[in-house]
Structure 1
Amino acid sequence: MKYFVHVLANEMATMDLTLEMSKNILTTNNVWMMLSTALVFIMHLGFAGVEAGFGQAKNTVNILFKNTITPIIGIVSYAAVGFYLMYPGFEVPGWLSFDFSGWNMFWFSPATADVSADYANAGYTYWTDFLFQAMFAATAATIVSGAIAERVKLGAYLIFTLFFVGFVYPIIGSWKWGGGALDAMGFYDFAGSTLVHSVGGWGALAGVILVGPRIGKYVNGRTVEKPGASVPLAVIGVFLLWLGWFGFNGGSVLSADPGLVSFVLVTTSLAACAGGLGGFLAAYFAFKRLDLGMVLNGILAGLVSITAGADVINPGGAVLVGFIGGILVVLSAILLDKLHLDDVVGAVSVHLTCGVWGTLAVGIFSTNPEHSFMTQLIGVAVCGVTAFLSAYVIFFILKKTVGIRVSAEHERTGLDSHEHGIRGYTIVFDE
């Protein structure tokens, strides 16, 4: 009898220890995911700095207003619609599934809803899941903001953001991250080179085409430089984005796995450095000057490029991927100016061009033999066509109804005074 009591006691102690370990793992993973969420949130401040720094001083408040309201609209619309479209729980992998069974749980459940180790393989809680994904959704919309800055109507931009983040982005995301058709096909995008960055980039390209270039940007076949308001602010913005990328890519491990998280952060940093170097060299050969703007965009190009394969591309491959991305961002910027497509901050070049490159690079450099270049190409094409056409239709409808461009007078004198009543930079001299 004593033997059985002893065995039973040991089994109960083992169960208690296992339960305690499970709780500790969940807590550790969830803390890292919440920290990653905060880092991704900081990226919105980085975008604000880059866009305000590269934009003209007369439009600073307008740019900052958009960068402030974008995450607000993005998070709320993702909570209302996007989260359920992106993770509908496909019974059979497909292209569209409407399952809003989780809607009631989100809005009316207590704080303890789905916090057990059964949710997401003890990676994080239900609430952390939503918030981390919502930051990604808002990021996709912010990409569009910088490209069409200084001449787009604020109201039209906000309506676009509502539909793009609420419907277009999550539906495309569901095809891979929600277990849809692209996921079943074997398409791979670790943290969103295509699903976040190129989707936002395609939206930006559609906006640039339909809004048109700024007045005086292209004159008699030549490109006229429009100096930004603050180079220091742009530099600060880029470094904030680089910092945020540790959460963007590191959090996409979806746990605090020490080996994989640290590996991802290494490949992310190396690609950023290589991208900055590639941008520096390409700009020097193209423009015969030490172009800080292209170094900054080169860093971002390297980050975007490695995002799709940060966990499956080794450090040596990450350097090559980032370096090529840095070169491509310069060539893309030159091509856009040749086509008279005015992108204020280089968002199309950074996020679209390098997002496509980074996704295809998985099919070239991945250490996983199951990753195919052709499958990656199909995924890029499907997501690209859908994102561009959707954004184009939204902008086109807005153009034909409420209008998407401010008046020539407002554009020439600056949007700050006309739409906001204040300026971003004011020097007051005492009498």
Structure 2
Amino acid sequence: MRILHTADWHLGKTLEGRDRLPEQVQFIEEICEICKQEKVDLVLIAGDVFQSSNPSAAAEELFYDAIDRLSNHGTRGVVVIAGNHDNPERLCAPSPLAERLGITLIGLPKDEIRISSRGNGKRVQRIACGQSWLELVIPGCEDSAIIAALPYPSEGRLKQLITQNLLEVDMQKGYNQCIADTMARLSANYRRDTVNLAMSHIFVKGGIESGADSENKIQQVGGAYAVDPLVFPSGAQYVALGHLHRPQKIDGCIAPGRYAGSPLAYSFSEVGYRKSVTLVEALPGQEAQVREIYLSSGRPLVKWSAKEGIAQVCHWVESGLDRDAWIDVEVHITKPLTMDEIQKLRSLYTRFIHIRPVISQNGKESVLTIEEIRNLPIDKMFIRFFERYNSGLKPDDALVKLFLDLTQSADKEESVKDLEGEIA
């Protein structure tokens, strides 16, 4: 059996207001072509189909078209679970129609999956199933697949699964054990003569997160403990995971376990990561063979650091550097950019996402975060502002006192907000 694992499509997600739906159309086209070329029998989509619990009509239309095409007229299995970004009920709303094409949509851990109502042997059929698990028969495959499919298991959703005794323990400390118990219950349906798979949308210890601290291995995120890789059943031949956007293998799983990653780079913290889907070949009782297939869809995200100022940015644009990319540009300057200069930069290239000035004074770079600026005393904030606009010249004490007197008679809160914006 040939299985394609993908996740974290985030349909409808933008990049600082820039529409990325055309790029999402591209990667779905590419995934459909991979399924055709690789003769895939089963597609696993491990959560976060949508960016929002209330997706746009265009995002929903793209998803419905995608799973229809991936099902190949009902001859290829498709199993989709909800992630933390998805509305479970909304994701599963088209289930009555999806079932006719052998597509299984699972929104909540408590969802009771039903046996296929009819079949003629030419389409994918669910021949056995229960709460968050199913057995699929796929045309052309000698062996069926049993899938332990756990949608995003928040602490609240787990309460719908576990016993009263477990409800009495501290949920945060017991989270790992809850997942382990749930997976053990689901995997009790595995058999020696089937291809046994597990899938979930969850944080696992050892995974590397895309973000400000993207190289930090996850231990605890969002108040819930990341689970140990050993929670996944030893009887599984492959564990298909979603939640982390960086494609990666999870060490410590008894069975091969992977995050497929997102098919597009959705954050500048992902610069340099190659996006992919995972192809798995599995037979009952044998070790699965796993292969990463790289994707080429979508615009890359790149960072520029213009040490020589605006002139260097203009040169790069004129030379066609990163013509098709979304760009985060850092410009080194000696005084704040004027509105005219900012507009000039934006007019040069419509794909500039961020323009971040780095101001050097006396050979030293001066950069503060917004939080640091907010914590400055109002007089220090004014001094910093004055120096920026006067080539490093400091205001005298009388001028600072005059400013403080004025702020007392004006709307202080609005004045401070304006000043924060100017010196950020």
* TM-score of the two chains, using structure 2 as the length reference: 0.30
Answer 1 or 2: which has greater helix percent: 1
User: TM-score by structure 1 length?
Assistant: 0.29
Query: Which of the pair has more CA radius of gyration?
Result: 2
Give the structure with the higher percent strand.
Answer: 2
